[in-house]
C-alpha cells in the first residue's frame, strides 16, 4: 500500500450499506441506479481528431453567483433515507454528509459518457444549480493501484474528452481534470509516456474550454506530494495557462493550512493561478503514522462554501464523497463502495 494510492472510484453499483462490493443488497437497502452504473466501455468513434483552438484567457471567479448541486441520489442520501424509520439517529448523522454539495466522478464506468453528462445537467438545471465533474479516465490511471483503470490509448482519451464536451454543450459546469495524474507522473511512466500524458491533459483543457460557461481546474495533488516548483512545472506543461486554476487535496486528508500555504507557492509559479480545495475529509488532518488508505479517526472538514476570504482560493469543495471507500484496506470495501461505518465516523 502506497501513499500514492489515493483515489476511490465512486461507481454507483448495487450495494449493501455495510458489505463489500458485490454483496447481495439487504431487502431493506435501496439499490442505486443511474447512467453511471453502466458497464465500462471505450469510445468507438473513428472520426479524425483535430486540435481545438486556443481558448480565451480565463478571468474572474467562475463560482461567483453559482449554486452548487446537492445530489438527491448520492449513496449517502440513499443510505440515510433507508435508515430514517429504523435508525433515525444514524440517518441524522449521515445527513451531515448527504445534504452537502459534492462532486460527481466520471470515468470508464460510464458506458455512454455524453448521455450521462446530459442526464446530470438536466437534473442540475432543473434545480438552478451547476454540477462539478471529476474526470478520471487518463490512460495508466493510479499506476495500477486501488483506482487502476482508465482508457488504453491517448487517442481514446481525446475522443472521450470530446464526448464529455458534447454532453456539456454550452451549459454552466465545473470540471476537475484527472486526480493523481500529475502527482504520479514520474512514478510509473517513461519519459515519453509522461510527455504524452501532459499533452493529452492540455488537449482536454482546450477542448472543455470551448464551452465559455465551463470552468476547468487541473488537479495538483496536495502539500505533501511534490514540491511546489515541481508541481508548478507539471501544471505549466499540462495547460494551466488555458485553465481556470488548479485543485488541491482531492480525496485526501491533508490539513487546510498546509494546502493553502502550498497553493500560494504554486500560484506564484503559475501566472497567479487561483485554486480550489477539497475539504471533504480533512477535519482531523492526515496522521503521518497511519496508512493513507481509509485511515481511522478522520472527520469531515470545512463545509463546501464559495466564501473563502482568500482571493486565490475560489472555493472550498467536497470533491471526494465522504463515506465512499478508498479501497480494500483498513477493513474497507472496494474503492468507491459506500461504507456506512466510515461515513458515520467521519460525520460524528
Continuous segment of H or E residues that includes residue 135? strand 132-135
| Phi then psi dihedrals of residue 104, to 5 deg | -110, 130
Buried/exposed code over 267-299 (b: 16+ C-beta within 10 A; e: otherwise): bebbeebbbbbbbbbbbebbeeeeebbbbeebe
Sign of the CA dihedral with 300 first, then 302, 306, and 312 last: negative
Consecutive H or E run containing 82: helix 75-83
Report DSSP letters for 142-202, one per residue: GGGSTT-B--SSHHHHHHHHHHHHHHHTT--EEEEE-TTTTTTTTTS--HHHHHHHHHHHH
Q: What is the DSSP letter of 33?
A: -
* Catalytic machinery residues: 142, 180, 326
Calculate helix-pair angle for 340-347, 88-98, nearest 10 degrees. 80
Measured from the Cβ of residue 213, the count of other Cβ atoms closer than 10 Å reads 13
Amino acid at each position: 500500500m502506497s501513499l500514492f494510492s489515493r483515489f476511490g472510484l465512486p461507481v454507483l453499483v448495487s450495494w449493501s450499506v455495510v458489505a463489500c462490493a458485490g454483496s447481495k443488497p439487504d431487502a431493506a437497502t435501496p439499490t442505486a441506479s443511474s447512467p453511471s452504473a453502466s458497464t465500462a466501455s471505450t469510445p468507438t468513434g473513428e472520426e479524425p481528431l483535430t486540435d481545438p483552438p486556443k481558448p480565451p484567457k480565463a478571468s474572474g471567479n467562475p463560482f461567483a453567483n453559482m449554486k452548487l448541486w446537492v445530489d438527491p441520489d448520492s449513496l449517502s442520501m440513499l443510505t440515510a433515507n433507508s435508515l430514517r424509520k429504523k435508525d433515525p439517529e444514524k440517518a441524522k448523522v449521515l445527513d451531515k454528509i448527504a445534504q452537502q454539495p459534492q462532486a460527481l466522478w466520471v470515468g470508464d464506468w460510464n458506458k455512454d459518457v455524453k448521455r450521462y453528462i446530459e442526464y446530470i445537467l438536466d437534473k442540475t438545471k432543473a434545480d438552478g444549480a451547476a454540477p462539478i465533474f471529476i474526470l478520471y479516465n487518463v490512460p495508466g490511471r493510479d499506476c495500477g493501484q486501488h483506482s487502476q483503470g482508465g482508457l488504453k490509448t491517448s487517442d481514446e482519451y481525446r475522443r472521450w474528452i470530446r464526448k464529455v464536451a458534447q454532453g456539456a454543450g454550452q451549459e454552466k459546469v465545473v470540471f476537475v481534470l484527472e486526480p493523481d495524474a500529475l502527482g504520479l507522473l514520474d512514478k510509473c511512466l517513461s519519459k515519453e509516456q509522461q510527455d504524452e500524458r501532459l499533452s493529452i491533459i492540455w488537449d482536454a483543457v482546450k477542448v472543455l474550454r470551448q464551452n465559455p460557461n465551463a470552468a476547468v481546474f487541473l488537479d495538483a495533488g496536495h502539500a505533501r506530494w511534490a514540491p511546489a516548483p515541481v508541481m508548478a512545472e507539471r501544471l505549466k506543461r499540462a495547460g494551466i495557462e488555458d485553465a481556470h486554476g488548479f485543485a488541491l487535496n482531492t480525496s485526501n486528508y491533508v490539513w487546510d493550512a498546509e494546502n493553502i500555504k502550498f497553493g500560494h507557492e504554486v500560484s506564484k509559479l503559475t501566472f497567479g493561478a487561483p485554486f480550489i480545495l477539497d475539504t471533504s475529509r480533512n477535519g482531523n488532518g492526515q496522521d503521518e503514522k497511519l496508512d493513507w488508505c481509509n485511515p481511522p479517526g478522520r472527520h469531515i472538514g470545512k463545509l463546501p462554501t464559495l466564501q473563502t476570504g482568500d482571493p486565490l482560493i475560489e472555493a472550498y469543495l467536497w470533491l471526494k464523497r465522504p463515506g465512499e471507500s478508498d479501497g480494500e484496506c483498513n477493513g474497507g470495501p472496494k474503492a468507491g463502495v459506500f461504507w456506512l461505518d466510515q461515513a458515520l465516523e467521519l460525520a460524528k
